[in-house]
Structure 1
Amino acid sequence: MMKLSLGKFGLNHCDLPTLFSNVAFFLRFITINIDRHYKKRIPFVNYVIVTIAAVCYIYIYVFSMFWFVFVRCRQTGDFIAAAVVFSLGTNSETYATKMIFMIIYKKTVQDIVQRYLACDKQVEKGTRFHDNLRKRLIKIKKRTMAVSVFLIVMGISYSIQPILIPGRHFAEDLYVVYGLEPMFESPNYEIALISETITIIVGTYTLAGITAFILIIIGYIEAQMLALSDEMLNLWDDAEKHYNNSKRSIAYNSTIQEEELKLKIINEHIANRLKQIIPFHISNINLLNEFETLFRITMAVEFGLIIIGTVAELLGRIENTFMELPYTLIQMYVDCFIGQRLIDASFVFERAVYDCKWENFNKLNMKTILLILQNAQKPLKLTAGGLTTLDFVSLMSVIKFTYSFYTTLQSSVG
């Protein structure tokens, strides 16, 4: 039976350089290069496609959206159509925000990628730490692939539904693009349909690619924190194994001397291991801080747009926006999910530090453990512009707020 081989894109290749290489490959299709060492020219046709999609997006989902919502619908009094089209505009802006951000801060993004790779190079191959990190990166890659495929499938499904329904239809029949009336007459129909399809497919592809990049960035820190937790839990046992392997070559004059030498060898081994663990913990904190500093504005803007878009979708009625809601909610869920997993990994590490049998260590190693514990008690957090922590508590709060805001508006308008 033949098996489908994905090569470097498969789950057998889950080291960080390969993960970045996979994402970089897909991002280059939309003219984004996250690899500083990639010197080949991005094909000119890619720039043409992205430019066409950008022009179509600005005309259809920005200019025409504002005209339709604030001019056309005020004349017709069709509030439902206004809400539906406004939700389309706000939801599509999440991909545009990410795209513009990645282009403007290209050099900074490349620098962050290099710092991640430099941190990953410090992991010694063949060690338990390396193996555990690799196992967890497999889960990160599965997560990334699942989210990316879902977003792309949603985009394709949304764009091809007019073709599958009998008669002439658009992704949203309530929408009228400025200057293309009557919308269902040729050649207006063909122009609008092709323009919308290009924009939707390129937009969802862009969102999927950049979301994959963020999933890997945050997922790697999560994986390292969990792998470091395993190292902390095995500190004492590893030190005892090290002593048992080395005691055969040591001669003792007394039992007391043997016990003193045993503790000395064990604590020296623990001290050396802590010197290896601490830099990784510090690197994870610094890498997350760099990500937060760089992405905090765009994360806050996108989170706000998603909330506004969700309210607009509800006001536009589910029967009109049922294809939009999953697309919107998955973005909110993914941000909160990876934030929650990061917090969970921090708590696991904190617990591992406390459970590492530190009571058996000498005073110097105890002080080192205390220092690590103090830092570990400040959990790593992903935030939306520093305004709110992205976790499941935040997700539920946003859902409650969104629904409350929707019911308030609904009663006011209704």
Structure 2
Amino acid sequence: MWDKLRKFGLQYCDLPTMLWNVCFMLRALTVSVDSRNPARIPIIFYIFTTVISACYFYVYLVSMVWFVFWKCRETGDVIAAMIVFSLGISSEIGPCKLFYMFMYEKVIKNIVDGYLACDAQTLKSDRFRQNLLKGLRVVKKRGLIFWMVIIGNGTIYIMKPIVTPGRHIMEDLFIIYGLEPMFESPNYEIGFLLTAGGVICTCYLPANITALLTVLIGYTEATMLALSEELVHLWSDAQEHYNKYLLEAEADNALVTSNDDIKNQIINKYIKQKLEEIVKIHTTNINLIQQIEHVFRGAIAVEFLLLITGLISELLGGLENTYIEMPFALMQVAMDCLTGQRMMDACDKFENSVYDCKWENFNVANMRTVLLMLQNAQKTMVLSAGGMTQLSFTCLMTVIRSIYSAYTTLRSMMA
């Protein structure tokens, strides 16, 4: 048991282990995306997913709609309506992503298999492997921080009414349909358990599904950075290979000639082999990212729309009332944009490394290969929200600015 828990730590940051970490957590949602582990999902997980989904549906969909569009119209409490509306809208991100996971389950399995196959065919270079693991360690740390923030946010949200004196639920203003009066037994106990189940569903889903995307896209990022280092050192590695060839020939008492033509042939043969391996890995990652973009672009677009609407509602409800909800929404927007930006940065570094590989010393055939690589590298791999905007820091700033502009406009209208 302890050995399995240790694999969730930063000491184990290779791709197979990281995917096992995420797929292990996703099995609790009855989602299986790892063909390496075709075992049946235990019945307890089906019960768990059914219970928390039912709690979520009743509290954050049925009760939210009733409270915002019926109850608050009777009471005229706009602030309560905004707070509960923001909760309902922001909570829909996880179920939306889960829907896409079920809809494209076979495609996602193929993507995961593709990444594992790519990892198994990496360059036979100690430097490449070390740089890849170094990059994956950063990716895993990023995913762990995101996971802990989202899950921690939900835990604090559930614990807040428990540690507060008196009878409280997560949002005292929120009345769950059919449980009036809310603070009398057994309505209070039922309402608290239903809301807690809904919060678990709301937080657990996006935490683990986004973690899967972070790992897959992060692997491409780490691969591009590791390949960049290989290209920068390609010419010196080729010369080192030639010197090693000379030493081996001398050790075998073979006839060694220092003819420049033979030297160039040996060096360029080595460079050709390395370039072919790099092109293959680069092309594979391009195809994998395109598949991820195809599967999740719609989910990310819906997620952004929901998060923007939710954040505007949270601001209208007052930060003093929604300060626990804000990190949940902002962290998801920021994580998607950070993941997209880091991949774009890695692709830019790869492009610069292709031009900086001392290609002017290569023969004509290898120069042509480098030119082809440069043309492919200039088509930066990107993720988008529905094909409308690329996920990047620029996108994040645009979203924040749009949220604030919409908030100030609506606030002035409500005043």
For residue 124 of structure 1, report the CA deviation from its aligned partner. 4.7
Aligned twin of 1:392: 393
1:214 & 1:396 partners in 2: Cα distance?
22
* Per-residue deviation, 1:289: 0.0
- Write the distance in 2 (CA, Å) between the matches of 1:404 and 1:176: 31
Contact (CA 8 Å) 1:16, 1:117: kept in 2 or not?
yes
Q: Which residue of 1 aligns with 2:130?
A: 131
Q: TM-score, normalised by structure 2?
A: 0.95
Match of 1:293 in 2: 294
- Write out aligned runs for 1:213-362 (5 A): 213-248=212-247, 249=249, 251=255, 258-362=259-363
Q: 1:403 to 1:215 in 2, by over 3 A?
A: same
Instruction: Kindly indicate whether the alpha-carbon contact (under 8 Å) linking 2:338 and 2:393 is maintained by their aligned counterparts in 1.
Output: yes
1:365 aligns with 2:382: no
In structure 2, what residue type is equivalent to 1:238?
D
Q: CA deviation at 1:103?
A: 2.1
Distance 1:4 1:274, change over 3 A: closer
Structural mapping, 1:35-184, within 5 Å: 35-124=34-123, 127-184=126-183
Deviation of 1:151 after TM superposition, in Å, equals: 0.9
Deviations 1:271-291 (A, max 9, x none): 111011100000110000000
1:175 shift after superposition? 0.8
The Cα of 1:94 is off from its aligned counterpart by 0.5
CA distance in structure 1 between the partners assigned to 2:266 and 2:3 by the alignment: 51
Secondary structure of 2:92's aligned partner: helix
Q: Counterpart of 1:329 in structure 2: which amino acid?
A: L
Query: Secondary structure of the residue that 1:9 maps to in structure 2?
Result: coil
Cα separation, 1, equivalents of 2:57 and 2:198: 10
- Provide the rounded CA distance (Å) in 2 between the counterparts of 1:265 and 1:349: 26
**Residue equivalent to 1:198:** 197
Which residue number in structure 1 is paired with residue 209 of structure 2? 210
CA distance in 2, matches of 1:38, 1:129: 28
Aligned partner of residue 294 in structure 1, secondary structure: helix
Give CA-to-partner distance per residue, 1:157-183, whole Å, 9 cap, x none: 001111110011111111111111111
**What one-letter code is carried by the residue in structure 2 that aligns with 1:194?**
L
Displacement of 1:8: 2.1
Q: Deviations over 1:314-349 (max 9, x none)?
A: 000001100000111000000000111001001110
Deviation at 1:410, TM superposition (A): 0.8
Write the distance in 2 (CA, Å) between the matches of 1:151 and 1:299.
17
Identity over aligned pairs, percent: 49
Residue 128 of structure 1 deviates from its aligned partner by 2.1
| Residue identity in the other structure for 1:38 | N
Cα root mean square deviation, aligned: 1.7
TM value normalised by structure 1: 0.95
CA contact (8 A) 2:60 2:198 kept: no
Is the 1:144–1:212 contact (alpha carbons within 8 Å) kept by the matching residues of 2?
yes
- What CA distance in whole angstroms lies between the structure 2 residues aligned with 1:160 and 1:332? 25
Give the C-alpha shift of residue 229 in structure 1: 0.3
Distance in 2 between residues matched to 1:125 and 1:382, nearest whole Å: 29
Letter in 1 for 2:365: L
CA shift for structure 1 position 109: 1.4
> Could you tell me whether the CA contact under 8 Å between 2:348 and 2:380 is conserved in 1?
yes
CA contact (8 A) 2:136 2:219 kept: yes
- The aligned length equals 409
Q: Contact 2:175–2:182 (CA<8 Å) still a contact in 1?
A: yes
Q: Would you say the 8 A contact 1:226–1:349 is kept in 2?
A: yes
Aligned equivalents of 2:124, 2:380: Cα separation in 1: 28
- Indicate the SS of the match to 1:194: helix
Preserved contact between residue 246 and residue 256 of structure 2 (Cα < 8 Å): no
Aligned residue for 1:131, secondary structure, equals helix
Report SS of the residue matched to 2:177. Answer: coil
The code of the aligned residue for 2:355 comes to: Y
Contact 1:159-1:201 within 8 A present in 2 as well: no
Q: Is contact 1:148-1:209 (8 Å) kept?
A: yes
Instruction: Work out the CA distance in 2 between the residues paired with 1:6 and 1:141.
Output: 15
Aligned partners of 2:337 and 2:396 also within 8 Å: yes
Indicate if the aligned counterparts of 2:297 and 2:383 stay in contact, CA closer than 8 A: no
Residue 244 of structure 1 and its aligned partner are, at CA, apart by: 1.1
Deviations 1:139-159 (A, max 9, x none): 111111111111111111001
2-structure distance, mates of 1:260, 1:43: 65
Contact 2:28 2:48 in 1 (8 A): no
- Report if the CA contact (8 A) 1:90-1:308 is conserved: yes
Q: How far apart are residue 300 of structure 1 and its match?
A: 0.5
Partner Cα distance (1:322, 1:12) in 2:
34
Note the C-alpha offset of 1:126: 5.6
In structure 1, how many angstroms separate the alpha carbons of the residues matched to 2:362 and 2:104?
47
CA deviations on 1:171-230 (whole Å, 9 max, x unpaired) are: 111111111111111111111001101221233122211111111011000000001101
CA distance in 2, matches of 1:12, 1:405: 44
- What amino acid sits opposite 2:384 in the alignment? T
Is contact 2:279-2:373 (8 Å) kept? yes
Contact conserved, 2:268 with 2:363, CA < 8 A, in 1? yes
Cα distance in 2 for partners of 1:151, 1:227 equals: 30
CA contact (8 A) 2:92 2:202 kept: no
| Structure 2 unaligned residues grouped into runs of 5+ | none
Structure 2 distance, partners of 1:40, 1:277, is 35
